Chains A and B, each alone.
Chain A
Amino acid sequence: MRALMFGWEFPPYVSGGLGVACEGLVRGLVELDAEVALVLPRRSAPSALPNLKMLSPADDGGSARPRPRGRRLRVRRIPSPLRPYITEFLYEDERREAERLGTNFAGNYGPDLPREVLRYAGAAARIAARERFDVIHAHDWLTFLAGLEARKATGKPLVLHVHATEFDRAGNGDNGFVTAIERLGLAEADRVITVSGYTAELVAREYGVPPGRLRVVHNAIDARETVGRWTVEEGDPLVLFAGRITWQKGPGYFVEAAARVAAERPDVKFVVAGSGDRMATMMEQVAALDLKERFLFTGFLPPAELDRLYARADVYVMPSVSEPFGLTALEALQHGTPVIVSKSAGVSEVVRNVLRVEFGDVEDLASKILAVLTFPPLQETLASRGRAEVRRLSWRESAAQCLAVYRELVSE
């Protein structure tokens, strides 16, 4: 089986699950003997790609070294400033910054995000025409048009993989062109894969994708060496929030719950690892509730440092408003850290050893944080059973399910 995949790189800094998921799936597919031609946007500044480099000695498709894995994975790069979670505002900021620095941004790239997405799709079609493959697989709205153009150029079947929708990110489908692209893509795709049953329901409800074309392939995590809890220094109880600080992630609920916990337990500290458009708001809220002494904002962290935080934390909290999956919950569990997730999170379809709260029920959230900190058998049971449960997951299994979807299309 040969796939042309429009995907994303493993991010050097933790900025969401999309890159992690793409990398996991690609590695799983290659392990299962599928051939993958992976198309990625390449930014002018080269980024560190430790994990993909291992897989991919070949760059820009030129000279693949004679390694078996190298042959099964070809990487094609389209120069573009596209990256996961980019918005029109961020794109505009970056364009201005590039012009200020005198780089030739506007000459090569689209003058705004919509036009850049269209330009990327055109380049994608040209790459598709030169590649040999059986099926096209594209991840989230930024690459949906690339997938559609590639199908137009080659007639091969198209799989669109939904990691998040505009309904998750913004609470509605009103963001003009993003939603328009999502609607177009999802209506046209031969198969739609979602990362959870939760997202499958949303996609069926809000985008009218019929069940016959809809498949669920849950995200996963691969076993790896983790930071031992005994290697991190002991200290005050620590409650962790990690990820993009955006409306979708419910940062306000975290702060409100923290205020209730702080009132009961003078020793507890709260760490926020990540960044995003609600960071300033979140900091103001912390100040207004007089919690500055109890909070630490780290900004984005490199994976190794985030791992240390997972290992050090007593409980990891993901209070998302809408969470198609929530990979960081699996990462925390892998480190033996008890997890509290919102019931609107796909991850709780694959792990049972987590605590769940209704999003917005900050009293229940605070009560559960306090329960984990108060009852040692609870913390120990969540840690040991959660870790054991996560050990059973693998990206190879998720990739096998993607392959099954490819086979449905190729045999049709």
Chain B
Amino acid sequence: MRAGTKTPMIPICLYFQVHQPYRLRRYNYFDVGREHRYFDDARNREVLLEVAERCYLPATAMLERLIARHPRFAAAFSLSGTVLEQLAAWAPPALEAFRRLAASGRVEFLAETSHHSLAWLASREEFAAQVALHRARLSAAFDVEPRVFRNTELIYSDALAASVEELGFAGVLADGVEGLLGQRPPARVYRAATPGGLPLLVRHYRLSDDIAFRFSDRSWPEWPLTPEKYDRWVSSVKGDVVSLFMDFETFGEHQRPETGIFEFFEKWVDRRLSRRGAAFLTPSAAIDRLPAGDTLSSPSLMSWADEARDVSAWQGNDLQRDALGKLFALERRVRASGSDALAEDFRRLSTSDHFYYMATKSAGDDRVHAYFSPFDSPYDAYITYMHVVSDLERRLPRPARARSLRSDTTRPAPRA
């Protein structure tokens, strides 16, 4: 906190993640070599429509109201390429609502991998290709050029930040865990341990999870959370910016409408912005306007998932590592095939959710994994996935000299 007489109103940086995977259909050993449709379109459509009804439509409407009422309100989204595609196919009104938010000029769209994938963990080349593909999809959907990058599930390390810097982004997001921050407060703009000192925004995980996880938990001593109480907590934070990052599905889906989540959030923003000096900043604005502090380093991989906040949610057991290894063993041959259809199936299979369903964790984390999983068990998730990958492999041409994929998917990202 700077020396001064009165504590200034600390600005808020909101970022909401929007993502839906292409879930696999029931697919068994006997389908291999016979059935090349891998994804459960009916179920994926059904889930998307449900979530659109419960969350995307009412929650974007809430944000539109806030934007209309408050000139100082702003927020950021990251929409995965897979959810963009599903919205366009199955829920055009919801896509339209995101377009209106984009047109307001008050909402920033962040970059990520097109397929919300684990590509970073397996292949730099595929990672860069998916980032470029996501740029193309964002541009087509919203006519925007992203400046700030967030990796799948906030998977982060120094090496990731260096790659992001190299791809020309102006900033990157990570979770504000002690392993990264040490004793430093989360409420500042930092620099990543990269050659150019890439600006780094870290999530205030306690205040984010108060909304995203604990809001409706009646066993939480702070239940019920009121806008007044929450605003007191936010105001008491020392620093330059409070970064609240969460799934957009928090509104209406993870926290159902009857919990009062919508009323809570809208009233809190109203309350906050009724005071002089209060502001909401997009990640770009935060990076541009606030001074960047210390350099934070995380040589090892971290994320915002599970208690461990590392990559064990997707790569914590032999099944998950085997599955990712088996998929990426096909990468060169997929690229060499020159086939868009094969590349798209390959990429849909790189989506993090498939690996999340294979987690065999216990005590607490397993309930969260099971909540999201369409499978009876992590073993069913692995078996289905492996049969599908076996079929994908059979469809590939015999290994030969490498050719490149179509240029629009491998073109290096333009420097921002």
Q: Are A356 and B377 in contact (CB under 8 A)?
A: yes
* A378 in contact with B29 given A371-B387, A385-B360 (CB within 8 Å): no
Q: In the complex, given contacts A368-B383, A385-B360, what are 12 additional A-B residue pairs having Cβ atoms less than 8 angstroms apart? A: A260-B30, A355-B380, A355-B383, A356-B377, A363-B28, A366-B29, A367-B28, A371-B386, A377-B318, A378-B382, A381-B319, A382-B379
Residue A89 CB within 8 A of the other chain: no
Q: Are A367 and B317 in contact (CB under 8 A)?
A: no
Query: Hey, which chain B residues are within 8 Å of A381, CB to CB?
Result: 317-319, 360, 379
Q: Which residue of B lies closest to A389 (CB)?
A: B362
Q: Which residue of A lies closest to B382 (CB)?
A: A378
Q: Which residue of A lies closest to B26 (CB)?
A: A364
Q: Which residue of B lies closest to A263 (CB)?
A: B30
Q: Are A264 and B29 in contact (CB under 8 A)?
A: yes
What 8 A-B pairs are tightest by C-beta distance, nearest first?
A367-B28, A367-B29, A377-B322, A377-B318, A371-B383, A370-B29, A377-B319, A355-B379
* A363 in contact with B30 given A355-B379, A375-B386, A378-B379 (CB within 8 Å): yes
Residue A380 CB within 8 A of the other chain: yes
Residue A352 CB within 8 A of the other chain: yes
Query: Hey, which chain A residues are within 8 Å of B376, CB to CB?
Result: 356
Interchain Cβ contacts within 8 Å, total number = 50
Alpha-carbon distance A264/B29, docked complex (angstroms): 10
* A367 in contact with B379 given A377-B322, A381-B317 (CB within 8 Å): no
Query: Hey, which chain A residues are within 8 Å of B377, CB to CB?
Result: 352, 355-356
Alpha-carbon distance A380/B317, docked complex (angstroms): 11
Query: Hey, which chain B residues are within 8 Å of A366, CB to CB?
Result: 29-30
* A371 in contact with B29 given A377-B322, A378-B382, A380-B318 (CB within 8 Å): yes
Alpha-carbon distance A349/B278, docked complex (angstroms): 53
Query: Hey, which chain B residues are within 8 Å of A356, CB to CB?
Result: 376-377
Interface string of B321-335 (1 = CB under 8 A from A): 110000000000000
Alpha-carbon distance A385/B379, docked complex (angstroms): 12
Alpha-carbon distance A355/B319, docked complex (angstroms): 14
Interface residue ranges, B against A (CB under 8 Å): 28-30, 317-319, 321-322, 360, 376-377, 379-380, 382-383, 386-387
Query: Hey, which chain B residues are within 8 Å of A368, CB to CB?
Result: 383
Alpha-carbon distance A391/B319, docked complex (angstroms): 22
Most chain A beta-carbon contacts within 10 A, residue among B317, B322, B379? B379
Interface residue ranges, A against B (CB under 8 Å): 260, 264, 352-353, 355-356, 363-364, 366-368, 370-371, 374-375, 377-378, 380-382, 385
Alpha-carbon distance A368/B376, docked complex (angstroms): 13
Query: Hey, which chain A residues are within 8 Å of B319, CB to CB?
Result: 377-378, 381
Most chain A beta-carbon contacts within 10 A, residue among B319, B321, B383? B383
Q: Are B322 and A375 in contact (CB under 8 A)?
A: yes
> Min CB distance, B76 to chain A, in Å?
39
Q: Which residue of A lies closest to B358 (CB)?
A: A381
Q: Which residue of A lies closest to B379 (CB)?
A: A355
Alpha-carbon distance A245/B294, docked complex (angstroms): 71
Q: Which residue of A lies closest to B323 (CB)?
A: A377
Alpha-carbon distance A366/B386, docked complex (angstroms): 15
Alpha-carbon distance A356/B383, docked complex (angstroms): 12
Alpha-carbon distance A371/B388, docked complex (angstroms): 12
> Min CB distance, A338 to chain B, in Å?
9
Alpha-carbon distance A63/B318, docked complex (angstroms): 58
Query: Hey, which chain A residues are within 8 Å of B387, CB to CB?
Result: 367, 371
Query: Hey, which chain A residues are within 8 Å of B318, CB to CB?
Result: 377, 380-381
> Min CB distance, B130 to chain A, in Å?
26
Most chain A beta-carbon contacts within 10 A, residue among B28, B319, B360, B380? B28
Query: Hey, which chain A residues are within 8 Å of B317, CB to CB?
Result: 381
Q: Are A367 and B322 in contact (CB under 8 A)?
A: no
Q: Which residue of A lies closest to B362 (CB)?
A: A352
Q: Are B360 and A364 in contact (CB under 8 A)?
A: no
Complex A-B: 21 CB contacts under 8 Å: A353-B360, A353-B379, A355-B379, A363-B28, A367-B28, A367-B29, A367-B383, A367-B387, A368-B383, A370-B29, A371-B383, A371-B386, A374-B29, A374-B386, A375-B383, A377-B318, A377-B319, A378-B319, A378-B386, A381-B318, A381-B360
Alpha-carbon distance A375/B388, docked complex (angstroms): 13
Alpha-carbon distance A370/B29, docked complex (angstroms): 7
Alpha-carbon distance A371/B319, docked complex (angstroms): 12
Query: Hey, which chain A residues are within 8 Å of B30, CB to CB?
Result: 260, 363, 366-367
Alpha-carbon distance A353/B379, docked complex (angstroms): 8
Alpha-carbon distance A378/B386, docked complex (angstroms): 10
Query: Hey, which chain B residues are within 8 Å of A374, CB to CB?
Result: 29, 386
> Min CB distance, A240 to chain B, in Å?
19
Alpha-carbon distance A63/B9, docked complex (angstroms): 87
Alpha-carbon distance A204/B317, docked complex (angstroms): 40
Q: Are B383 and A378 in contact (CB under 8 A)?
A: yes
Query: Hey, which chain B residues are within 8 Å of A371, CB to CB?
Result: 29, 383, 386-387
Query: Hey, which chain B residues are within 8 Å of A375, CB to CB?
Result: 322, 382-383, 386
Query: Hey, which chain B residues are within 8 Å of A378, CB to CB?
Result: 319, 379, 382-383, 386
Query: Hey, which chain A residues are within 8 Å of B321, CB to CB?
Result: 377
Q: Which residue of B lies closest to A340 (CB)?
A: B379
Q: Which residue of B lies closest to A384 (CB)?
A: B318
Q: Which residue of B lies closest to A375 (CB)?
A: B386
> Min CB distance, A382 to chain B, in Å?
7
Alpha-carbon distance A381/B323, docked complex (angstroms): 13
Query: Hey, which chain B residues are within 8 Å of A385, CB to CB?
Result: 360
Q: Which residue of B lies closest to A264 (CB)?
A: B29
